[in-house]
Amino acid sequence: MRTRFTTTFAAALLVVSGTAATGAQASAGGDQPQDKPAVVQPVTIAAEPPPGFSSWDEVLQVQGKLDATAERLKAAGGALDGFGKITEAVEERRVRLYWKGDPPAEIRSIVSGSDSTVDVVPARYSARELNRESERLRRMSSDTEGFRIVQINQSPQDGLRIGVTGSTDAAAASSVVREAGVPVTVTEGRQAEPLSRIADTMPYWGGSAITIGRPGLPSVSGYCSTGFGIRDLNTGDRFLLTADHCRQSGEVVLVGKLDAGATGTKMGTVSGGDPDNDSLKIRTSTDGVIYNNNATTEFSNPVIGSKYPFEGQFLCTSGAFTGTRCNAKVGEVDIEFGRPDGGWRYPMAQLDSVTGTILAGQGDSGGPVFQVNPQNHRQVFAVGLISMGRAGDTGSRCETSGGGNPSTPPLPNSRCFAHIWFTYVQEMEDAYDAAVLTSNAP
């Protein structure tokens, strides 16, 4: 049976820093199609449902209704002057719309006609105002005044919160902050760590492990996970997404995690990327399917579309190295992070474990962030790609490799995280003029 994992390397030689050893070579003949995992089964959530709910099925049903209302409100009002943001309070079974001033008639009609409760909360600042100030801060951020802005969070009630490296006092006293058109709160910036299953075959699925090497493959630059398949709307060409920071200097994508001297199977080649949304396209054979697993069984799930993330949603991750994790809730959204090259990653959303257990680890970068279809738990919606983990997390030792399969050994010295950030699939669809590949599997 086909699997996203293999153990063709010695456990003692596992490299978990995101950079593999030199010496891997690609096979010239490519890969041959093999049988897919025959099991397509529901995605399950092991944690207890929130108070007031009898099951996770009930949670997902309620969330599905809230999603529908939130998506209508965003489509109708997201580009208007007064729009602030939308959040979902799933536990309270309601949507909150933050709006500066009086909402227009179309928005009021959606609110009154929704089968979900919608609270319209007066906003002090609109998203447009906050975006304008965020852009100014990004342009003016530098190390010349004793600090550097590395993170920007927006709040329609409180203004902007920036994380800085260097002196927070210098930042608070700087003209960059004092001349802002909205209040700016200065905090110490927390570093984020890139999260750089294990052997797939054609057509390649999301959630499998990859190693990215240089042309000619004299060495290997890093290993990551695949995300979702997409189709170019103009040419019909298919690509598999992963994280842009996985590329480093590599251009050739190999199947699995490779160690020194290993023979790799070529999956495809890098075919353009976008560092702003931390996404990379791999030209290869792919389908609208992702890998998932529970503690003992690996299975697959068809992708049936894409969704936008809203604060308060319950989502799942499926990185190649830590496997399926469904104990996750969206925190803040539309966060901006400074890149080492001086650019910015935007927008990004925070995902927090509701039980304090891990959501992703090193090697999971580029892996799927998805939502279970409330009408059919065998199907999923594409939401994002795993990008970074929060440095300084405690209790973050990786438990096992092999997607949580207890038969595989722990990854020595690897780091895992209960708080991660992910990028938005719908932003990638827009950037590449593409659509997520879907499957009609039941």
Q: List CB contacts of 39: < 8 A, sequence separation 6 or more.
A: 297, 298, 299, 300
Residue whose tokens read 């659509």: 435
Is residue 291 within 8 Å of 318, Cβ to Cβ? yes
Task: Please state the φ and ψ torsions of residue 58, each to the nearest 5 degrees.
Answer: -65, -40
The closest alpha carbon to 283, from 219, 249, 232, belongs to: 232
Task: Please state the φ and ψ torsions of residue 433, each to the nearest 5 degrees.
Answer: 50, 55
Query: For residue 314, which amino acid is it?
Result: F
Helix, coil or strand: residue 185: strand
Residue whose tokens read 């090697």: 363
Residue 45 has pLDDT above 50, yes or no: yes
| Highest averaged pLDDT of the listed ranges 280-289, 338-347, 396-405 | 280-289
Q: Give just the sign of the alpha carbon dihedral 194, 195, 200, 204.
A: negative
What is the H or E stretch that residue 73 is in? helix 56-77
pLDDT at 416: 83
User: pLDDT tier at 221 (50, 70, 90 boundaries)?
Assistant: low
How far apart are the C-alpha atoms of 210 and 217, rounded to whole Å? 14
Residue 28 has pLDDT above 70, yes or no: no
How far apart are the C-alpha atoms of 265 and 69, rounded to whole Å? 45
Tell me the per-residue pLDDT of 242-301, one tens digit each, with 9 for 90 and over: 999 888 656 788 887 665 445 568 888 889 899 999 999 999 999 999 999 865 678 899
β-strands 94-99, 117-122 pairing: parallel
Residue 404 has pLDDT above 60, yes or no: no
Across 146-168, b (16+ Cβ under 10 Å) vs e yields: ebbbbbbbbbbeebbbbbbbbeb
Domain ranges of the chain: 11-44+193-436, 56-122, 127-191
Is residue 248 within 8 Å of 212, Cβ to Cβ? yes
Residue 418, phi-psi category: left (phi > 0), alpha (psi -120 to 50), beta (remainder): alpha
Tell me the per-residue pLDDT of 291-341, one tens digit each, with 9 for 90 and over: 998 656 788 999 999 999 999 999 999 998 888 999 899 999 999 998 877
The closest alpha carbon to 254, from 319, 194, 209, belongs to: 209
- According to CATH, what is the number of the domain 11-44+193-436? 2.40.10.120
DSSP string, 369-392: EEEE-TT-TT-EEEEEEEEEEETT
The closest alpha carbon to 436, from 202, 227, 267, 283, belongs to: 227
Q: Dmax over Cα atoms in the chain, in whole Å? A: 66
Q: What is the mean pLDDT of residues 13-21?
A: 29
Q: What is the mean pLDDT of residues 362-374?
A: 93
Tell me the per-residue pLDDT of 127-141, one tens digit each, with 9 for 90 and over: 999 999 999 998 876
Residue whose tokens read 């809203």: 310
pLDDT at 106: 97
The closest alpha carbon to 131, from 304, 335, 312, belongs to: 335
Is residue 323 within 8 Å of 348, Cβ to Cβ? no
Residue 413 has pLDDT above 70, yes or no: no
How far apart are the C-alpha atoms of 52 and 58, rounded to whole Å? 10
Residue 154 has pLDDT above 60, yes or no: yes
Residue 286, phi-psi category: left (phi > 0), alpha (psi -120 to 50), beta (remainder): beta
CA Rg value for the chain:
22
How far apart are the C-alpha atoms of 7 and 262, rounded to whole Å? 11
Is residue 310 within 8 Å of 23, Cβ to Cβ? no
In this prediction the pTM is 0.86
Task: Please state the φ and ψ torsions of residue 372, each to the nearest 5 degrees.
Answer: -75, 135
Query: For residue 214, which amino acid is it?
Result: R
Helix, coil or strand: residue 169: helix
pLDDT at 321: 84
Is residue 277 within 8 Å of 309, Cβ to Cβ? no
Tell me the per-residue pLDDT of 377-387, one tens digit each, with 9 for 90 and over: 999 999 999 99
